[in-house]
Amino acid sequence: MQWLLLLKTQLISGYQTVATWFRETLHNLWYVASQSFKILVIIIVILLLPIWLMTRPIDTHIQVDLVVNGLSFRVEQQPLEWERLKFHSATVSDFQQIEFTTLENTPKSITSKSAELFPTVLLETANPTTTEFGILQDLTIEPPAKVTLAVEKSQVGRETLVIAIEEAQDDPAARLLHPKAFKLTTDQCEGLASSPLPVPGLPRRNPYLTVTGKGNALKMILTTPTLESFSIFQKNPEKMLVKELEFISEDLERGRRVAYTTLLTEGVISYPEYPKIEPVTFTESNFVWLDKMDNFYIEQIGFDSEKQGLKIRLTGEATAAVETYPQGFSSQRKDHRLTMADTLGQGSPFVGVMLSVLIYIIPIIIGLVAIGKVEIVPRPKPQTQGRVTRNSENREEE
């Protein structure tokens, strides 16, 4: 029977201990909760700056691949090195003078009738075949200058390449090579006896038409003779440093200017220094905004026959925002530069996993240590007990 009494005593004692713990916990619950909240606030304040710094966009080396039907950019330093561009027809405007020598060694010159007029000259190959065509041999642009390239449909359904130069330091100059027969059609020009004028060819020693721009500007529209892809600029090991790169076209709608994106297909932004990070893709309905172009280069640009547009690759260090947003929703701008949190551990899986674990473990450890330091305030004993005891003592003395 003694073991039963002992067991009963232990059970009662354990029950009283548990009951006391629950009473004390409930009594101090608000205190523990308030102290835990204070500790949480302290942890958030401590981690706020590191987290903010780790999630801020940083200077990022990026590569942008696009297919567009038009773009404009500004050349600030080295002159552009153009490829030899073939054409079946070439429309020249914004020019000052066009000069050439006939087979009879007779010099010819075409000029504008008036400075207020907009002269144009159309050069068309007499027999436009795969073997008879003209070539844009040279195009000299002294930087700084603004260059606009566009691909448009001609009246005969062929693709045409538009080259427009503005704000050049000197008047641009071009040489059009055309040893075969062609004809010239002029509008608002002087210098030709008739228009159109058939030209049987140019002499072998000087088979060029020299075009001089006007007012630091020149515009040419070339109808390409082939459906194959071709490059527009020569491959330059130093690449082409450009600024103010835009992929926007404007049109008038109901008397006001409306901007449109020139993208034809999905665009891709990738990160060459971090190949494990997935490239970003965005639809052709998006605007692309490059805020700062001090360190951007056109790595390659050419005509893409399959997509009927200009295929472009840009590379450089993005020191400011690289944003995309759907047309008409500028509030949805998204900066595609990387953050420090994106780049940490990219070179080592071990470092990446360790950093991910520490990000979660450190706040938990700090919280547990802080909570363990919280002092539990014992429940104060009722003051009436002391009064009752004193009253009892007084009665005994009496």
Count the Cβ atoms, other than its own, within 10 Å of residue 265.
Answer: 16
Identify whether 178 is part of a domain: yes
Identify whether 150 is part of a domain: yes
- List Cα–Cα distances, 47 to 37, 130, 392, in angstroms: 15, 68, 60
- Residue 282: per-residue pLDDT: 92
Identify whether 221 is part of a domain: yes
Confidence of residue 388 (pLDDT cuts 50, 70, 90): very low
If asked whether residues 214 and 244 sit together in one domain, one would say: no
Higher-confidence residue of 70 and 363: namely 70
- The closest alpha carbon to 246, from 288, 217, 283, belongs to 288
If asked whether residues 101 and 222 sit together in one domain, one would say: yes
The answer to which of 63-72, 77-86, 149-158, 328-337 has the lowest mean pLDDT is 149-158
Identify whether 141 is part of a domain: yes
Q: What is the pLDDT of residues 81-98, one digit of tens each?
A: 889 999 999 999 999 999
pLDDT above 70 for 293: no
Identify whether 103 is part of a domain: yes
Query: What is the number of structural domains in the chain?
Result: 2
If asked whether residues 211 and 128 sit together in one domain, one would say: yes
If asked whether residues 271 and 140 sit together in one domain, one would say: no
If asked whether residues 211 and 242 sit together in one domain, one would say: no
Beta carbons of 345 and 352 less than 8 angstroms apart = yes
pLDDT above 70 for 182: yes
Tell me the average pLDDT of the chain: 81
pLDDT above 50 for 398: no
Identify whether 310 is part of a domain: yes
Confidence of residue 53 (pLDDT cuts 50, 70, 90): confident
Q: Are strands 120-125 and 107-112 parallel, antiparallel or unpaired?
A: unpaired
If asked whether residues 151 and 94 sit together in one domain, one would say: yes
pLDDT above 80 for 323: yes
If asked whether residues 255 and 321 sit together in one domain, one would say: yes
Domain end marker among 200, 226, 252: 226
Q: What is the pLDDT of residues 92-115, one digit of tens each?
A: 999 999 999 988 889 999 998 877
Find the domain containing 319 and state its range.
58-78+236-340
- The closest alpha carbon to 91, from 201, 191, 182, 227, belongs to 182
If asked whether residues 209 and 186 sit together in one domain, one would say: yes
If asked whether residues 188 and 69 sit together in one domain, one would say: no
pLDDT above 70 for 376: no
pTM comes to 0.75
- Residue 265: per-residue pLDDT: 92
If asked whether residues 241 and 202 sit together in one domain, one would say: no
Residue 371: phi and psi, rounded to 5, are -65, -35
Identify whether 378 is part of a domain: no
If asked whether residues 240 and 329 sit together in one domain, one would say: yes
If asked whether residues 197 and 281 sit together in one domain, one would say: no
Identify whether 385 is part of a domain: no
